[in-house]
Structure 1
């Protein structure tokens, strides 16, 4: 059951749930959720545009953890995987923040720090049949069914709450191991583009900080990744 103390602020249309969350984060309680049926200026990593039409689930969660770590982004990622599984959809995690079904993107995560708050943006393609981008899928496309967005939201929030509690209890090993069990990246040869250069190699592990570990010992904390094989 979704926590009774949690607050959901909903919009029919908004520019960006993450931007709104930043504006209200200082006076908001821990675990405040902003939900929009449509975003006009949704964004992903590196300020890339994230197309957010009606039919998708576009939310931002304001968290106020005791401390910050890149493992925070594992919380929503694992929650999405668990949510999709409850609807009969098997998904995998692409480091650092994408959720894939058969190597097609169904969801993305954006983690931003704003003063004492972590703003976690989640985009999940639910009842979407067309987006102007390549290599994507949706819950409806995978199953041939339409879903009640509020039901998907409630289950997703329950799962976020579950992993957030593990994080606050410092159960980092449990979070990391579950991420690794659901990884699509580990074991593959990859190309990773970072601000300091482009790296090629085999992705072999995720360390205690959430960094990607390559077979040459290189550890990468952030970047764009391409799976090769």
Structure 2
């Protein structure tokens, strides 16, 4: 697996054990969305505009500031528990600088000053509590798509043995990506083991612009060899 190294007192790194009374597989798939939204909204309350990069990152114009991971344990169709892991780069030394396929940044760099980690943690937990009661709701979907990075732009979705390029058309309630292909077909892509990058990386890393980059009018899909 992957390794994450966090210098002491430089970031927020937490795991929450959730035991929902009733949660479908679709609802469990949205837990990462809830975590990312909670972080984005907590940052926005501090004057930092943030976006959610599918499937589980929070990004600022300068790069990635937070990541969310979910592990679930099922007994048949019953969810025994879920572990929601959230990591937020707060201090500059928490943002790695080397061996990255996507640039990293931190909260303090964006706000231009000191940030109290406990205050930020409490803000994230407050937004989590608000959204956990709305799993599967239209309000959750609207809030997610309102902060979905690269919506309407051409992106590359890649992972082990696969690479697809198309226009990011939105997301599904299960947390899947909707990728519009040049054939007119819209492909639904699950999050397992996949990452996303914008095709045009000449500007800032986070934008809500729906204008396709010039010269990128066609999308394609191919398998890596």
TM-score band, normalised by the shorter chain?
0.7 to 0.9
Q: Is the 8 A contact 2:62 2:105 kept in 1?
A: no
TM-score under structure 2 length normalisation? 0.75
CA distance in 2, matches of 1:113, 1:139: 29
Q: Does 1:62 align with 2:42?
A: no
Q: Mapping of 1:188-203 within 5 angstroms?
A: 188-195=153-160, 197-203=162-168
TM-score under structure 1 length normalisation? 0.74
Q: Does 1:80 align with 2:39?
A: yes
Structure 1, unpaired ranges of 5+: 1-46
**Aligned match of 1:220 in 189, 211, 221?**
189
Q: Is the 8 A contact 1:89 1:142 kept in 2?
A: yes
Q: C-alpha offsets along residues 117-167 of structure 1, whole Å, 9 cap, x if unaligned?
A: 111110001123453434111111112211221111111111111111112
| 1:166 partner SS | coil
Q: Look up the match of 2:141.
A: 176
**Aligned match of 1:127 in 91, 95, 98?**
91
Q: Look up the match of 1:157.
A: 125
CA distance in 2, matches of 1:189, 1:51: 32
Deviation beyond 4 Å, 4+ runs, structure 1: none
CA distance in 2, matches of 1:190, 1:103: 18
| 1:161 partner SS | helix
CA distance in 1, matches of 2:38, 2:199: 26
Using the TM superposition, give the Cα deviation of residue 74 of structure 1 relative to its aligned residue in structure 2, in angstroms: 0.8
Using the TM superposition, give the Cα deviation of residue 195 of structure 1 relative to its aligned residue in structure 2, in angstroms: 4.8
Using the TM superposition, give the Cα deviation of residue 64 of structure 1 relative to its aligned residue in structure 2, in angstroms: 1.5
Give the alignment's Cα RMSD to 1 decimal. Answer: 1.6
The count of residues paired between Structure 1 and Structure 2 equals 180
Larger relative contact order (C-alpha < 8 A, sep ≥ 6)?
Answer: 2
| 1:112 partner SS | strand
**Aligned match of 2:82 in 110, 118, 122?**
118
Larger proportion of helix:
1
CA distance in 2, matches of 1:103, 1:206: 24
